[in-house]
């Protein structure tokens, strides 16, 4: 019996409709058989002691208890105040009964049909029929159908060959109706690629709509925010080049023809690339002296490779690449610098963005005239001292030679 439970139990009340009075049978097989002490229990609104029982459409002498053990065949119903009459449950005492699980049967389920004999007879061959068509011949009394499809609905029966001292020959069960239901639609959700639904300007974003449960033909529609504008159909929505106006909350709606389920909104954030310029050496002083070695670097916070960098000096393009080496600068290097980061990948312009950095004002100051004059005077003084020492030394030598 593995696989007979699961989703079916979760959606049984949905399939049974608005009727709230239910007649349960234990063991959970239909038709029930009295030789295994089947118990019927009435569930519904109102006090349990107010239960009214019916057998074959006639009001039964049994009133008050909400459950009892059946001993006779027939069609049973129960009534509870405020919730109405239950669906009927059949009890059969024939010598051969084909039983199916007493629960709603859903697409995808595994279900077991069993051919029950009233007496302990030696069964050597069992034939199972769907309508008038023989579907399986087995040496055992149980047939498994997995997975269930809508075409499995219909009337089923079984025949057994018995060979015992009491009976010999074929015996046939009464037909039983099997109805396979579509799984009710539930659990609609939206996922994104890349995960987190955060994507850079110009990149591609794919949203996917998934259904946890539901069978049959499904239709999908996509919407953003509270707008009723249709963005697309199908389980996937592809935004090939997102713009900054594409940020917002997206959700999908799924319909199976009978009901419509809507997903929880997914927040999509489009990240706009920002370019930054840094200067070396640091700290970030924009005043440098002539002759200093200066390097400017450009980086982009958000974006997809490859990124192209263009440098502008006073609005005019001067170089390309993430690094601008100015070397030993002069006063002519003064002015405003900024970089432009762009990305274009693919012939269709996929993943396109353009980010312009803030302006960097660079001021180059010449060397101080006072510092230059001091340096010149110090040099001249040193030269004069050297010459004076040389003269003194020469005179000293001349006097010695003269002596």
Cut 0.85: pTM above it: no
Q: Are 323 and 295 in contact (CB under 8 A)?
A: yes
Q: Output the six-digit token pair for 84.
A: 């109405």
Q: What is the pLDDT of residue 10?
A: 39
pLDDT digits (tens, 9 = 90+) for 72-111: 999 999 998 888 899 999 999 888 999 999 999 988 899 9
What per-residue confidence (pLDDT) applies to 281? 59
User: Minimal CA–CA distance to 272: which of 250, 248, 243?
Assistant: 243
d(CA 319, CA 244): 29
Closest CA to 141 of 29, 295, 286: 29
Q: Is residue 61 scored above 50 in pLDDT? A: yes
Residue 376 clears pLDDT 50, i.e. is over it = no
- Exposed, middle or buried by CB within 10 Å (0-12, 13-18, 19+), for 161? middle
Percentage with pLDDT > 90 across the chain: 35
Considering only 208-212, 279-283, 371-375, which range has the smallest mean pLDDT? Answer: 371-375
pLDDT score, position 299 = 84
- Least trusted range by pLDDT, from 36-50, 89-103, 111-125, 360-374: 360-374
Q: Say if residue 258's pLDDT is above 90.
A: no
12: pLDDT strictly greater than 70: no
The confidence score (pLDDT) of residue 6 equals 43
Average pLDDT over residues 344-359: 67
Residues 7 and 183: beta-carbon distance below 8 Å? yes
Q: Which one is predicted more confidently, 403 or 312? A: 312
HSE toward the beta carbon, residue 367, CA cutoff 13 A: 10
Question: What average pLDDT does the chain have?
Answer: 81
The pLDDT assigned to 156 comes to 97
Cα-based torsion angle of the residue sequence 230, 236, 241, 242 in order, rounded to the nearest 10 degrees: 60
Q: What is the dihedral of CA 367, 369, 373, 376, to 10 degrees?
A: 30
Query: Which domains does the chain carry?
Result: 7-181 (2.60.40.10), 186-271 (2.60.40.10), 275-365 (2.60.40.10)
Most confident of 31-45, 288-302, 331-345, 359-373: 31-45
Model confidence pLDDT, tens digit, residues 121-151? 677 789 999 999 999 999 889 999 989 998 9
pLDDT of residue 261: 92
pLDDT at 5 over 50: no
Q: What is the CA radius of gyration of the chain?
A: 45
Cα 399 to Cα 403: distance, rounded to the nearest angstrom: 6
pLDDT over 70 (residue 242): yes
């Amino acid at each position: 019996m593995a696989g007979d439970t699961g989703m079916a139990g979760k959606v049984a009340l949905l399939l049974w409709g608005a009727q709230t009075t239910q007649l349960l049978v234990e063991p959970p097989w239909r038709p029930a058989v009295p030789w295994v002490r089947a118990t019927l229990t009435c569930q519904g609104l109102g006090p349990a002691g107010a239960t009214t029982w019916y057998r074959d459409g006639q009001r039964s002498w049994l009133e008050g208890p909400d459950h009892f053990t059946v001993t006779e065949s027939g069609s049973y119903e129960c009534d509870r105040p405020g919730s109405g009459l239950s669906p009927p449950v059949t009890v059969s005492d024939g010598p051969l009964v084909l039983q199916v699980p007493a629960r709603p049967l859903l697409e995808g389920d595994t279900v077991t049909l069993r051919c029950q004999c009233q007496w302990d007879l030696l069964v050597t061959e069992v034939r199972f029929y769907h309508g008038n068509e023989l579907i399986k011949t087995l040496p055992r009394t149980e047939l498994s159908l997995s997975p269930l499809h809508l075409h499995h609905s219909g009337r089923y029966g079984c025949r057994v060959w018995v060979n015992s001292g009491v009976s010999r020959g074929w015996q046939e069960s009464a037909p039983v109706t099997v109805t396979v239901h579509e799984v009710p639609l539930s659990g609609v959700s939206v996922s994104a690629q890349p995960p987190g639904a955060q994507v850079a300007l110009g990149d591609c974003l794919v949203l996917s709509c998934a259904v946890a449960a539901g069978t049959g033909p499904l239709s999908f529609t996509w919407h953003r925010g509270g707008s009723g504008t249709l963005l697309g159909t199908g389980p996937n929505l592809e935004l090939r080049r997102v713009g900054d106006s594409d940020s917002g909350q997206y959700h999908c709606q799924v319909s199976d023809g009978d009901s419509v389920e809507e997903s929880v909104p997914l927040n999509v954030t489009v990240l706009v690339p920002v370019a930054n310029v840094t200067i070396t050496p640091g700290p970030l002083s924009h005043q440098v002296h002539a002759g200093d070695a200066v390097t400017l670097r450009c980086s982009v916070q958000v974006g997809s490779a490859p990124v192209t960098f263009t440098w502008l000096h006073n609005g005019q393009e001067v170089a390309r690449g993430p690094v601008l080496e100015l070397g030993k600068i002069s006063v002519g290097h003064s002015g405003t610098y900024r970089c432009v980061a762009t990305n274009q990948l693919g012939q269709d312009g996929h993943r396109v963005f353009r980010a312009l950095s803030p302006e960097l004002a660079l001021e180059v100051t010449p060397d101080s005239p006072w510092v230059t004059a001091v340096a010149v005077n110090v040099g001249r003084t040193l030269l004069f001292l050297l010459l004076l020492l040389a003269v003194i030394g020469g005179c000293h030598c001349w006097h010695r030679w003269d002596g």
